[in-house]
Amino acid sequence: MKRMESSFRRHRRLRRTASLRALVRETDLSPAHFVYPLFVQAGLHGRAPIESMPGQDRLGLDALTAEAAELRELGIRSVLLFGLPSYKDEVGSSGWAEDGIVQKAVRILKEADPELVTIGDVCLCEYTSHGHCGVLSGDGQVDNDASLPLLAGMSVSLADAGCDIIAPSDMMDGRIGAIRSALDASGHSQTPILSYAAKFASAFYGPFREAAESTPAFGDRRGYQADGANGRIALDEALTDIDEGADMVMVKPALPYLDIIRDVRAAVNVPVAAYNVSGEYSMLMAAAERGWIDGERAIDETLTAIRRAGADIIITYHAKQWCRAQASRR
């Protein structure tokens, strides 16, 4: 039978109704893909709004049980924990204390919801008096090798407390191997590592530094975080971390680095995460609050783009909003 000739393709045939669009949609998005970040503050009772991140709060330990229940109801099954400790020192010792703020938080969350996946961020910046991600040498520079045993000790402490996943964000060379060895030696060989493998020095971290009180007291972090102009190094960092024992790798931030997410996804055979960071969140929220954009649609479009680029896991402050919006449409 002779094929009918047409002067142009009818691409709109598959866009005509919502059901047709859903049937042929290539990229899926669900709460199972989300990790929700939590800021837990020592000495705080209840919740305290984060001014630069509308809709986000710091949580006291007494607020965590209710938080776990809300996340369970929304279908969000994973959290990434950041701590604001009761004290800071030159080496960040509160980060690996048995009664550290994140260690306490993990125990409470696990009691409230044993199936909630708890991910412990491993970095010294929130716990050091100088705000850098590693300890300092005598000349004030971050000492890579001297920081490794401290990061490994923090990882073991978090695993001991019940963290399901360890997520090093410090960007010290060799930290994945050091952490893997320490976890294995302490009986945590089954605890996976999610490496912040391609973490770029970025202007989009500003609101987070207010939320976590982790702004460096001097200088910046460009000496250890990746240069945003370089793409190939991101692949090398991801492959290096996998060789050292990482079970998953992350790209951070997400939106300015969608090309990196795609490249990493194509290069590795482990799950790839992307962090939709605080600055990305706050810009969208500010525009939505002013009526400049449709916030609900922009959130959905943003998260879909990150998934489409290749992220298996999305760490995002928008997780609750997206889930509520989906529920309201049912």
* pLDDT tens, position by position, 76-128: 999 999 999 999 999 999 999 999 999 999 999 999 999 999 999 999 988 99
**14 vs 4, 6, 8, 9, 301, CA distance in Å?**
19, 17, 15, 12, 19
Q: Is residue 23 part of a domain?
A: no
Q: Tell whether the model's pLDDT for residue 330 goes beyond 90.
A: no
Of the listed ranges 29-33, 45-49, 215-219, 259-263, the least confidently predicted one is 215-219
Indicate which residue of 2, 104, 110, 199 is catalytic: 199
Q: Which residue has the tokens 């460096």?
A: 216
pLDDT surpassing 60 at residue 3: no
Would you say residue 198 lies in a domain? yes
- Look at 6-20, 101-115, 246-260, 271-285 and tell me which has the smallest mean pLDDT: 6-20
Candidates 88, 104, 110, 252; catalytic one: 252
Among 59-68, 99-108, 170-179, 199-208, where is mean pLDDT lowest? 199-208
Residue 249 lies in a domain: yes
Q: Check: CB of residue 134 under 8 Å from CB of residue 170.
A: yes
Q: Is the pLDDT of residue 139 over 60?
A: yes
Residues 6 or more apart whose CB falls under 8 angstroms from that of 309 comprise 254, 258, 259, 261, 262, 265, 274
* Alpha carbons 4 and 146: distance in angstroms, whole number: 72
* Res 263: pLDDT: 97
> In terms of C-beta density within 10 A (0-12 exposed, 13-18 middle, 19 or more buried), how is residue 280 classed?
buried
Please return the burial class of 166, using the count of CB atoms within 10 Å of its CB with bins 0-12, 13-18 and 19+.
Answer: buried
Residue 1 burial (CB < 10 Å; 0-12/13-18/19+)?
exposed
The residue whose two tokens read 């503050």 is 41
pLDDT at 288 over 80: yes
Confidence of residue 328 (pLDDT cuts 50, 70, 90): confident
315 DSSP β-pair partners = 35, 275
pLDDT, residue 9, reads 84
CB atoms closer than 10 angstroms to residue 296:
16
What are the structure tokens assigned to 271, written together?
A: 């799950």
Query: Can you give the length of the chain in residues?
Result: 330
- Asked about 199 being catalytic, the answer comes back as yes
Domain assignment of residue 68, given as a range: 29-328
pLDDT tens-place string over residues 52-65: 999 999 999 999 99
Residue 75: pLDDT band with limits 50, 70, 90: very high
CA nearest neighbour of 151 among 164, 134, 138 = 134
More confident residue, 282 or 215: 282
The mean pLDDT of the chain is 93
pLDDT band at 174; cut points 50, 70, 90: very high
- DSSP-assigned letter for residue 200: B
11 located within any domain: no
- Selected residue with higher pLDDT from 125 and 239: 239
pLDDT band at residue 140, thresholds of 50, 70 and 90? confident
95 CB-near residues (< 8 Å, 6+ apart): 83, 85, 102, 122, 124, 126, 127, 150, 154, 157
- Say if residue 35's pLDDT is above 80: yes
pLDDT at residue 6 is higher than 80: no
Q: Are 256 and 228 in contact (CB under 8 A)?
A: yes
Q: Could you tell me if residue 237 is inside a domain? A: yes
Range with the lowest mean pLDDT among 7-11, 96-100, 143-147?
7-11
CATH code, domain carrying 316: 3.20.20.70
Give how many domains the chain has, as a whole number. Answer: 1
Of all residues in the chain, what percent carry a pLDDT higher than 70? 98
pLDDT at 247 over 90: yes
12 located within any domain: no
Is 88 tagged catalytic?
no
Indicate whether 134 belongs to any domain: yes
Residue 314 has pLDDT above 80, yes or no: yes
Rounded to whole angstroms, how far apart are CA atoms 76 and 68?
Answer: 9
**pLDDT-based confidence at residue 138 (cuts at 50, 70, 90):** confident
**Which one has a higher pLDDT value, 21 or 40?**
40
Residue 243 lies in a domain: yes
What is residue 4's predicted lDDT score, i.e. its pLDDT?
A: 58
Instruction: For residue 244, give Cα distances in angstroms to 78, 122, 158, 165, 191.
Output: 25, 16, 20, 16, 15
